[in-house]
Structure 1
């Protein structure tokens, strides 16, 4: 007896809304993305702010961002806004990760707006180019903004404060500090990232021992940096590790900067 195989094609469609579902029974709201773009300029951590060109908060400083379009997810919107609002991200490598969601009902005077916030880290970035929704875009030292010298629109001061703490904490257990550096760097330059972000001085020899003890944190390269006076320092590049085990520990809160 010969057994024949039969092929059955099954078409799977997307989910179908219930027949009696009425979306108008729920209040509408919008979703936006806001991006904390951090970099080191002149040895200090800076954040990118845009001067709003329209109401609400016209003329106030704010984080770059915008509304999520109907045909995109939040991650796609964040990448798009990063380019449209600042011109950053087309060719510059950027570490982009989601921070958290902000959903206070009164955070936007226009309507109910829920924002998905992101943190972006990159090496010494150039002067930005303001997008269509911004009159001016410029870098501000993080300390000046967090200390309240620059007032921010919406709840962006809270978002920035949360982002700075995320960056500081993440340097303990993840290798993202290399995102602030160019392709090749010295251990002294890597230490300078920790010193600035944590606001505390770190012993170079102890720091060197800890970094080299983490497999894949950094990898030595056989290159010579030209145009720099003084003895040649060993150059490194970021390795393929993403976690620091065991984690580094910063000083207890309040003992650094």
Structure 2
């Protein structure tokens, strides 16, 4: 008789920090063994009859301490099935993305290219999912809106794109890409004037 393999849900929680001009990933110390005290992605075992979004929200709230109201989107990335990924025995890990609009308390935020050593196979999960996150930006409405919020400038869009892809696109090219995103529009509004003068950047908003 083949025994069922437990399924864990591990979440890559992202937020855009306008001050730091980059996208940040949230990790926190584990409160229990194995790897007690080591940094890790928020994760939980999938409960009986529980949906992935429900488990992902439970992981973020319980492990990162972010309120559920801070979550602005959540979705699935891919599955990791390395048998030795958990010292307690074989488990499947379903990686999810989540976007947040709050830094919370006790969360360690890091850039995707400076992720510290993490428990389990979480560094591999981040590395393998990073290109998938880059593909979601400006293609997946829930992800993009959750990450960028309702009002943002072209400069902030360039910062987020560079943080996820590693390359800074030409503003005109990115503007054309953004104009094709359903529900996103360039407004007649402008952000605050630049300190040294010049034309203030226009704002983008969701319908």
TM-score (norm: length of structure 1): 0.68
Ranges in structure 2 where 5+ consecutive residues have no aligned partner: none
C-alpha spacing 1:93/1:227, structure 2 compared with 1 (3 Å): farther
Whole-Å Cα distance in 2 between the matches of residues 93 and 36 of structure 1? 12
Whole-Å Cα distance in 2 between the matches of residues 104 and 209 of structure 1? 41
Return the match for 2:182 from 206, 216, 232: 216
C-alpha spacing 1:224/1:170, structure 2 compared with 1 (3 Å): closer
Ranges in structure 1 where 5+ consecutive residues have no aligned partner: 1-24, 130-136, 240-257
Whole-Å Cα distance in 1 between the matches of residues 13 and 189 of structure 2? 30
SS across alignment from 2:137: helix
Whole-Å Cα distance in 2 between the matches of residues 215 and 198 of structure 1? 18
- Going by fraction, where is strand more abundant, 1 or 2? 2
Residue 37 of structure 1 deviates from its aligned partner by 0.8
Whole-Å Cα distance in 1 between the matches of residues 203 and 181 of structure 2? 17
Whole-Å Cα distance in 1 between the matches of residues 31 and 181 of structure 2? 48
Whether the 8 Å CA contact 1:177–1:194 is kept in 2: the answer is no
Over alpha carbons, which structure has the higher Rg? 1
Whole-Å Cα distance in 2 between the matches of residues 180 and 71 of structure 1? 29
Whether the 8 Å CA contact 1:122–1:181 is kept in 2: the answer is no
Whole-Å Cα distance in 2 between the matches of residues 32 and 119 of structure 1? 14
Q: How many residues are aligned here? A: 202
Aligned to 1:206: 173
Please list, as runs of the form range in 1=range in 2, the aligned pairs for 1:1-257 lying within 5 A after superposition. 25-41=1-17, 42-123=20-101, 125-129=102-106, 137-145=107-115, 150-171=116-137, 173-175=139-141, 176-212=143-179, 214=180, 216=182, 218-221=184-187, 223=189, 225=191, 229=195, 230=197, 231-239=199-207
Whole-Å Cα distance in 2 between the matches of residues 210 and 222 of structure 1? 18
Whole-Å Cα distance in 2 between the matches of residues 65 and 50 of structure 1? 11
CA RMSD of aligned residues (A): 2.5
